A and B are shown apart, each in its own frame.
Chain A
Amino acid sequence: MRDSEQIIRVEGLSKSFRVARHRGGALGALRGLLDRGGHEVRAVDGVSFTVRRGEMIGYIGPNGAGKSTTIKMLTGILNPTGGIATVDGLVPWKQRKQLAHRIGVVFGQRTQLWWDLPLLDSIELLRHVYRVPIDRFQANLATFRELLDLDPFLTTPVRQLSLGQRMRGDLAAALLHDPTLLYLDEPTIGLDVVAKSRILDFLAGINREQGVTVLLTTHDLDDIERLCRRLIIIDQGRIVFDGSVAEIRERFGTHRLLIVDLAAEAAAPLDLQLEGVEIVRVEGPRHWLHFDRSLVPVADLIALVANRVQVRDLTIEEPAIEDIIGEIYRDNRRLNAPTSTPASLMTR
């Protein structure tokens, strides 16, 4: 009775770690073994969401928010402390090996390729590890050679590859066994603009053409804006937002910046004395006005400004998605600050 539309179902998923006090030396380590003290940190705290087949989702949050811990539970590496989850109808931590055949995993900062061997050797080895039938293997390899342009370095030892080439190799390796779901942990970390673009285009392509569901964690919101229609934001182990990028702008990004260039240097400073409007910066004739469009409609503000002073030019800027998300984290912390543990403690 599994709902085949939903590839991931997570309900109330939680993971607590016991953080032991750190002691130096071998003796300290031995005492650490015996000591069951320390305090408990909730890395993931009652997370629920579902993912439909073919979706491409950005799972984001600051360091230590619980992103990686969630991914580790959904790949079957970690057992949760509470809650339930199914991935493609399987319980990850109970059916780890079965699930491994259906998912691809790329950890951006660690390669799964054999360091001292040519890329092709790693790919060959993984064919055996995942028992990929030879005709599927050849078809997939041909596709990836073309899409990821692997030919120039297919026989080069992995240690000699550039970061971008290595990531392309890692993607091919992760997709060789036709997974229906791909987890990507920071896939563009450290890449230059060109290398990054190429990888983002490739991911969009396999999602569109082969219907691979993609869940990616990242720091880089540029990745999300270019790839994902849906965004899940996690902070301090809890989901603080789940919706589209447009929705997040709608709900949280009510602030705009109005940049006004005056015709001549104003004799008196531009002072509107209006609630929800603040002049955040002045530079010669240029004024930056920060305003809340739910309090002050744009048209009214422009009319008001034009009424007071001679305006030569006007621009309105939307806040960057980074700034909006930064705002969400700050709000979340203000709400939860007194009870929860600092998130930085659980970074491993």
Chain B
Amino acid sequence: MADISRPLNRSRDLLNEAGLYRRLAAAHVRGQMQYRGSFWMQIAGNALIYSLEFAAVLIFFLHFETLGGWHPGEIAFLYGLSSVSFGIAHIIGGGFASFSQLIVRGEFDRLLTRPLSSFVQVLAADVQMRRLGTVLQGIVAFAVAAALTDLPWTLGRALYLPVTIASAVAVFTALFTLEATVCFWTTQATEAVNAFTYGGSHLALYPIHIFDVWMRRLFFFIIPLGLVIYAPALYLLDKPDPLSFPAWARFIAPVAAAIFAALAGTAWRSGVRHYRSTGT
């Protein structure tokens, strides 16, 4: 009897928490909208910064025919893929991206007095709408890509694009979660940890085969950004694989993302356990 009702209860809890995430996140956005002018300015400012960066990269590559066999339009496509996913992850997982402040202000205790998982509450604690600017810039990059290259669209590719983006969003969100987990031990190392999230998102803008072997290993086997952005891009752009991975490597993005997210979740839970045993 108990064996049957347990998973049922568990899934009801999950649904309940998902509903509450929506409410809490909406409340946070409503709060930001109180400062309407600044709200839109921040989105515009964010879009501008990322667009300038994109423009600089594009101008740079327009001088070369190709980079590691990739045309500027294809680079723009990769750029779009990375920016859109990073932007969405930053909106959804903003609470983890700014988690060190929550810890420093001592507000994490408050979350633990409520009948909800700390994970959902942290997720909803900061929804960084200004990151819509990054998403916007990513969409512009896709448009540029479409203008510069003939994208080899098929039904399969059209269906795999959202899967790729969802996988990349999951990996970036997991990275933010790992970054937040470190805060349970120290809030002084956030800059060092930022190197992996922000640095990772920047490196994912380029075709990974142009990097050194160590960097490639890092992005394929440790932080699987290569598996969720670069490898699917090979398929989406119909490019040959200079690293000659097996063909299925282009399609394991969702699996890689799920594994990485599960690992980040485990790390987070051990972080919470550590916090609750030390209070720091």
Contacts and interface: CB of A to CB of B under 8 A. Distances in A.
Interface string A20-44: 0000011011101100000000000
Contact of A97 (B109, B116, B188, B191): B116
Contact of A26 (B16, B32, B113, B189): B189
B30 interface: yes
A348 interface: yes
Interface in A90-112: 93, 96-98, 100-101, 103, 105, 107, 110, 112
Is the interface on chain B under 10, 10 to 19, 20 to 34, or 35 or more residues? 20 to 34
Is the interface on chain A under 10, 10 to 19, 20 to 34, or 35 or more residues? 35 or more
Interface string B17-35: 0011001100110111011
Contacts of A116: 30-32, 34-35
A101 B276 contact: no
B34 A100 contact: no
Contacts of A103: 113
Nearest to A107: B110
A306 to B, nearest CB: 59
Nearest to A177: B115
B53 interface: no
Given A17-B279, A28-B188, A115-B31, A75 B112 contact: yes
Given A26-B189, A110-B107, A77 B31 contact: no
A69 interface: yes
A49 interface: no
B278 A129 contact: no
Contacts of A130: 114-115
A42 B112 CA distance: 23
A18 interface: yes
Contacts of A25: 188
A25 B34 CA distance: 37
Contacts of B28: 114
B279 A107 contact: no
A334 interface: no
Interface string A319-335: 00000000000000000
B30 A100 contact: no
Given A114-B31, A130-B115, A30 B192 contact: yes
- Give the interface SS of chain A, mostly helix, strand, loop or mixed: mixed
Interface in B31-67: 31-32, 34-35
Nearest to B186: A29
A35 B22 CA distance: 41
Contacts of B16: 131
B113 A105 contact: yes
30 contacts: A18-B278, A26-B189, A26-B192, A28-B188, A30-B186, A32-B188, A72-B109, A75-B112, A76-B113, A77-B112, A78-B279, A96-B112, A100-B113, A101-B115, A105-B113, A107-B109, A110-B110, A112-B110, A112-B113, A115-B31, A116-B35, A117-B34, A125-B24, A128-B19, A129-B24, A129-B115, A130-B115, A131-B16, A157-B34, A348-B279
Interface of B: 16, 19-20, 23-24, 27-28, 30-32, 34-35, 105-107, 109-110, 112-117, 185-186, 188-189, 191-192, 276-280
Q: Which 5 A-B pairs have the closest CB atoms?
A: A116-B31, A29-B188, A100-B115, A105-B113, A29-B186
Given A78-B279, A101-B115, A116-B30, 14 more contacts: A15-B279, A17-B280, A25-B188, A26-B189, A29-B189, A30-B189, A69-B279, A72-B109, A79-B277, A100-B113, A105-B113, A112-B110, A129-B24, A129-B116
Interface of A: 15, 17-18, 25-26, 28-30, 32-33, 69, 72, 75-79, 93, 96-98, 100-101, 103, 105, 107, 110, 112, 114-117, 121, 125, 128-131, 157, 348
